[in-house]
Structure 1
Amino acid sequence: MNFIKKTAFGLVIALSLLNCSKKDSAKDDLHTETAHRGVWTKEQAKTWYEKQSWLVGADFLPSTAINQLEMFQEATFDTATINRELGWAESIGMNTMRVYLHDLLYDQDSVGFMNRLDVFLDIADKHKIKPLFVLFDSCWDPFPKLGTQREPKPGVHNSGWVQSPGLEALKDSTQYPRLERYVKGTVGQFADDKRVLGWDIWNEPDNPNTSSYGAVELPNKVDYVLPLMKKSFEWARSAHPSQPLTAGIWAGDWTSPGTLKPIEKLSIEESDVISFHNYENAKEFEKRILQLQQYDRPLICTEYMSRGNGSFFEGSLPIAKKYNVGAINWGLVDGKSQTIYPWDSWKKTYTSEPELWFHDIFRKDGKPYKEEETELIKKLTAR
């Protein structure tokens, strides 16, 4: 980045988030209609969705990063690997990636973080991929720290992934202004950027991480997350994004609005397009889609495909296409996240690569784990 461009980024943040995306600073019709909006109407959401190709992609972390911090910190921002691996995604017809951000990255160096996000978007755009950015996440380690990240624990699924915000920030309301700046600053910077698909406000907000960090989690975690997630939707909307906001529901009884937990109800009510997770078999996957169709909004499954749990591409992906539901599976390339190992690796010892990978599509050299899977994805995404 040259001096002028860095200065421009700094001015954007300092002047209360004036939107000046280098790719598209002009407001399209949808943005103009909803500049001071609440939740999009069903018609607005459908209009946006109709403009997209069928969305197929993966939750993406480059193989050289163990978590969101290592992916985007200056010292470990690995553009060569990102470019190579997004190229593999493009080669099988994928057009989106779900990518996790972190509040500490913005707090550490907002200008540098925005610059690196801009570079990432350039790389993704080159491969015809539009990322869905995740702002907050309640999964795995509740004690994130900047700087050099720990090495993976051998054979353990997501042994270094960290929550955002961490436990200390979540329970400390004096840190909420910092979180507000992060949300408004990040969304505002790219609010008119056509390279961005949308904003996922909070991943699995009430996940207690029972099998991994349950013993050190806040026992009443959801009591903190629920009001903060509500505020986070408000902060994001105040930045006037032209892209949709969402927060996925992931567990529970979705039969009717009356059976939803409060945090699921909030997710449904605040989401412009509805997103969800499903790691079950094809029958259950279809059942969840049918349950969510009652809200008459576009649907995107932002996590699926866990072979050891009975969730496969050949089962779920054709169903997603049948109902025009976006499909984003967990994991693209086997790497430091080690998500080829199952969830029970936190309790059970694995000393070698499992015969049946839990997640992920490619090996580090670009060879597919199962060529029949990549051929299916290519076939179903063919334009």
Structure 2
Amino acid sequence: MKPMHLFLAGAAAVFMISGPVHAETQKWTAEAANTWYAGQRWLVGSNYLNTSAINQLEMWQADTFNPEEIDRELGYAESIGMNTMRVFLHDQLWQQDPEGFKKRIDIFLNLAKKHNIKPMLVLFDSCWDPYPHLGLQPAPIPGVHNSGWVQSPGAIGLREDNTENLKAYVTGIVSHFAKDDRILAWDIWNEPDNRDGQTADWTVAGKTGVRDGGRSDQAVKVANVERLLPQAFAWARSADPSQPLTSGVWVTSNDWSPNGKKSKTEEIQLNESDIISFHSYEWPEGLEKRIQMLQPYGRPLILTEYMARGHGSTFDSSLPLGRKYNVAMINWGFVLGKSQTNMPWDSWQRPYTKNPPTLWFHDIFYADGTPYRKAETDQIRTLTAEAAATFKTKSRKAKP
């Protein structure tokens, strides 16, 4: 989820039929992670936000939670063979009503299971508006990409005096669902050191978002992230989850290989992750290079963001590479809605109000389930069906 800016001491793990069991707070071994991954069909899905929600808060708050819409839209995913979705949570929802939030997550997980989908749940996110607030969310800014998305925890929530609240959120959510086989994995933090928007003051479409305590300073933000990210992994591990943990590297200018020059945030992400996740909105040559860069870690690879048609990242070029290298593929954008992610990234600087772009940037379906490009959904359906048949054959042969 990029704005205009263009991302190992293991511990022993024992496997039982139901999945990995490992010591508290310890990272999975590569062997444990690969055994887990071998038990998954090739994972293909989208980052999911329902049509009527402008952000994570509107998706999950009691007044705007829409299970009927979610049920319908997950049906679109199932129809093309998708078997996972990446879904963002928010710490303020926990602080507001932990029991209600858990109940709504449970409803969502039941709907996902109904459609044979195991979602990856994202706990924190450093993208877009750094000043989230509960309650009524803003209307979309016409012609602007993802104009209402909010960070979790945001500039104020990152402060050291809020650490215990963040710990309560992570331990509360993860411990409640720690053994839940409806969940694929936990994404601890999305793009942790990303900037807030066009500037450190969070500017969108000419409107500056300096409020609720002043500027969101990038240096302060990164320092807080470096302090909190290892703790967030440790908090999640303290619940001894049966699902793997990850946080995806995303800055396309860096070398993610084991001996490459990486930022401190990237070092934390790669050192702490049970499974390696990453983002790439690049042409296929760039994506393949990223995959090869990460293979030496010897862990499963999940591409948790890709597919920006106007930027050279497409289904027809990316999905075959994922299949070739056995990389799980989760694209950005699923159904056209209030997030308006069919608009390009540059709409933050130049809103597309008079002449909407002919080429959608993200997203797969219209709200009624009509594909934006039938050739894309046909390709996804064909590749996922082939992968499902291969997995079924392998599973049958593996049985004694």
Q: Considering the TM-score relative to the shorter chain, is it more than 0.5?
A: yes
Contact (CA 8 Å) 1:57, 1:98: kept in 2 or not?
yes
Residues 208-237 of structure 1: per-residue CA shift (max 9 Å, x gap): 134265454323121110110110000000
Cα distance in 2 between the residues matched to 1:269 and 1:323:
22
**Aligned amino acid, residue 274 of structure 2:** D
Instruction: Write the distance in 2 (CA, Å) between the matches of 1:205 and 1:229.
Output: 8
Paired position in structure 1 for 2:99 = 111
| Pick aligned residue for 2:369 from 360, 366, 370 | 366
**Equivalent residue runs for 1:306-321 within 5 Å:** 306-321=308-323
**1:254 pairs with 2:241:** no
Change (3 A) 1:213 1:94: farther
Q: 1:365: how far off?
A: 1.3
Change in CA separation of 1:96 and 1:226 when aligned onto 2, cut-off 3 Å: same
| Partner Cα distance (1:273, 1:214) in 2 | 34
The one of 293, 296, 301 aligned to 1:294: 296
Q: How does 1:189-208 map to 2 (within 5 A)?
A: 189-208=176-195
Measured in 2, the distance between the counterparts of 1:155 and 1:149 equals 18
**Which sections of structure 2, spanning at least 5 residues, go unmatched?**
1-15, 203-214, 389-400
Give 1:258 shift: 3.8
1:177 aligned to 2:164?
Answer: yes
Q: Please name the residue that 1:81 is paired with.
A: 69
- Aligned equivalents of 2:377, 2:260: Cα separation in 1: 40
Partner Cα distance (1:99, 1:255) in 2: 27
Aligned to 2:217: 218
State the match for 1:240 in structure 2: 240
CA deviation vs aligned residue, 1:327-370 (integer Å, no higher than 9, x gap): 00001100000000011001012124310000000011110000
Say which SS state the counterpart of residue 320 (structure 1) adopts.
helix
Q: CA deviation at 1:31?
A: 4.0
Q: 1:249 to 1:241 in 2, by over 3 A?
A: same
Q: Contact 1:212–1:346 (CA<8 Å) still a contact in 2?
A: no
Kept in 1, the 8 Å contact 2:258–2:297? The answer is no
Alpha-carbon contact 2:200-2:217 (below 8 Å) kept: no
Match of 1:20 in 2: none
Cα RMSD for the two superposed structures: 1.3
Q: Give the share of equivalent positions with the same residue, in percent.
A: 56
Taking structure 2 as the reference length, the TM-score comes to 0.87
Rate the CA distance shift 1:210–1:160 in 2: closer, same or farther, 3 A.
Answer: closer
Q: Please give the residue correspondences for 1:1-383 in structure 2 after superposition, counting only pairs within 5 Å.
A: 30-32=19-21, 34-170=22-158, 172-211=159-198, 214-215=201-202, 216-220=215-219, 221-251=221-251, 252-351=254-353, 352-382=355-385, 383=388
- Distance in 1 separating the partners of 2:71 and 2:101: 18
Distance 2:136 2:148 in 1: 11
C-alpha distance in 2, partners of 1:327/1:112?
31
- Superposed CA deviations along residues 307-330 of structure 1, whole A, max 9, x for unmatched, are 011100000010001000000000
Three-state SS of the structure 2 residue aligned to 1:276 is: strand
2: CA distance between counterparts of 1:136 and 1:31? 24
Q: Distance in 1 between matches of 2:105 and 2:318?
A: 31
Structure 1, unpaired ranges of 5+: 1-26
